[in-house]
Amino acid sequence: MILGLGIDVVDVERFGERLRRAPGLRDRLFTEDEKHLGLASLAARFAAKEALAKALGAPVGLRWTDATVVRLGDGRPHLRVSGTVREQADRLGVSSLHLSLSHDAGIASAVVVAEGTGP
């Protein structure tokens, strides 16, 4: 059963400007495995984290670094969650998360579907 759905879009250039103006932002938003990626990939990952928060009901207190986007062996993106994000997913009865990412024409987007049996 679908328990939550989230979508987000990010203007890549504008996101880059935010990262340049606030250098500490990169550390607050991204895990060590993500920080080295190019700007379009970072924007897509930020969109994924926003979409994930929406799919989980956008509760206060989620830590951005408690979610990371990884690539599976076949190249598909996957969300690995821990800490505050894992706790919220468990509260909702989420057993799997589905993620789609895209970046083109200066826009990065992500869709997250939270699936499970519910609480």
From the list 53, 52, 29, 62, the residue with the least C-alpha distance to 112 is 52
Q: What is the pLDDT of residues 41-84, one digit of tens each?
A: 999 999 999 999 999 998 889 999 999 999 999 989 999 999 99
| C-alpha span between 100 and 48 (Å, rounded) | 8
Helix (H) or strand (E) holding 95: strand 94-104
Straight-line distance from the first to the last Cα atom of the chain, in angstroms, rounded to the nearest whole number:
12
Query: What's the pLDDT at 118?
Result: 79
| Interatomic CA distance for residues 39 and 16, integer angstroms | 7
Amino acid at 24: G
Mean pLDDT of 31-44: 94
pLDDT tens digits, one per residue of 76-117: 999 999 999 999 999 999 999 999 999 899 999 999 999 999
**How many domains are contained in the chain?**
1
> Which structural domain range is residue 51 located in?
2-116
CATH number, domain containing residue 54:
3.90.470.20
> Phi/psi of residue 65, each to 5°?
-80, 0
